[in-house]
Amino acid sequence: MTVELDPTPAFAAFAHPERLVSTEWLAEHLGSPGLVVVESDEDVLLYETGHIEGSVKIDWHTDLNDPVTRDYLDGAGFAKLLGSKGIGRDTTVVIYGDKTNWWAAYALWVFTLFGHEDVRLLDGGRAKWEAEGRAYTTASTPVVPVDYPVVERDDVTERVFKDDVIEHLGSPLIDVRSPEEYVGDRTTAPAYPEEGALRAGHIPTAQNVPWARAVAENGTFKPRAELEAIYLDGAGLKPGDDVIAYCRIGERSSHTWFALSYLLGFENVRNYDGSWTEWGSAVRVPIVKGVEPGVLTGTAAH
Amino acid sequence: MTDITLPLPVALEQIREDFLALEQRDRLQLLLEFSNGLPDLPPRYSDHPDLLERVVECQSPVFLFVEVDAARTVHVFVTAPRESPTTRGFASILVQGLAGLDVDQVLAVPQDYPLEIGLTEAVSPLRIRGMMALLGRIQRQVRERAGAGGNA
- Please answer whether residues A282 and A150 qualify as being in contact, where contact means their C-beta atoms are separated by less than 8 angstroms: no
| Residue B61 covered by a domain | yes
CATH label of the domain that carries residue B126 = 3.90.1010.10
Cα(B151)–Cα(A125) distance, rounded to whole angstroms?
A: 48
| Residue B39 covered by a domain | yes
Q: How far is CA B18 from its chain centroid?
A: 16
| Residue B4 covered by a domain | no
| Residue B1 covered by a domain | no
pLDDT category, A301, cuts 50, 70, 90? Answer: very low
Residues of A in contact with B127 (CB under 8 A): 44, 61
pLDDT category, B57, cuts 50, 70, 90? Answer: low
- Please answer whether residues A296 and A169 qualify as being in contact, where contact means their C-beta atoms are separated by less than 8 angstroms: yes
Cα(B75)–Cα(A183) distance, rounded to whole angstroms?
A: 40
Cα(A161)–Cα(A286) distance, rounded to whole angstroms?
A: 15
Cα(A165)–Cα(A3) distance, rounded to whole angstroms?
A: 37
Q: B137: domain range?
A: 10-146
Residues of A in contact with B35 (CB under 8 A): 45, 49
Question: Is residue A297's pLDDT more than 80?
Answer: no
Residues of A in contact with B59 (CB under 8 A): 42-43, 191-193
Rounded to the nearest 5 percent, the helix, strand and coil shares of chain B are 55, 10, 35
Nearest chain A residue to B62 by CA distance is A191
Q: Do B123 and A44 touch (CB under 8 A)?
A: yes
Q: What is the pTM for the complete model shown?
A: 0.90
Compute φ and ψ for A122, nearest 5 degrees: -80, 110
Overall average pLDDT of the B116-133 stretch: 88
| Residue B151 covered by a domain | no
CA distance B90 to chain A (A): 11
pLDDT in tens, A163-207: 999 999 999 999 999 998 999 987 666 655 556 788 999 999 999
Q: How many domains does chain B divide into?
A: 1
| Residue B152 covered by a domain | no
| Residue B87 covered by a domain | yes
**Lowest pLDDT segment from A10-14, A190-194, B5-9, B82-86:** A190-194
| Residue B5 covered by a domain | no
Extended beta strands in A92-184, E state: 92-96, 119-122, 159-160, 173-175
**How confident is the model at residue B129, as a pLDDT?**
86
Nearest Cβ partner of B32 from A49, A62, A192?
A49
Question: Residues near A44 by Cβ (< 8 Å), separated by ≥ 6?
Answer: A59, A61, A62, B28, B86, B122, B123, B124, B127
Starting at the earlier edge strand, list the strands of the sheet with B74-79.
Answer: B53-54, B63-68, B74-79
Please report, for residues A44, A98, A253, A256, the alpha-carbon distance to residue A271 in angstroms, rounded to integers and kept in the order given: 23, 21, 6, 9
**Lowest pLDDT segment from A59-73, A95-109, A145-159:** A59-73
Overall average pLDDT of the A134-138 stretch: 97
**Lowest pLDDT segment from A28-37, A166-175, B22-31:** B22-31
Nearest chain B residue to A190 by CA distance is B56
- Please answer whether residues B45 and B51 qualify as being in contact, where contact means their C-beta atoms are separated by less than 8 angstroms: yes
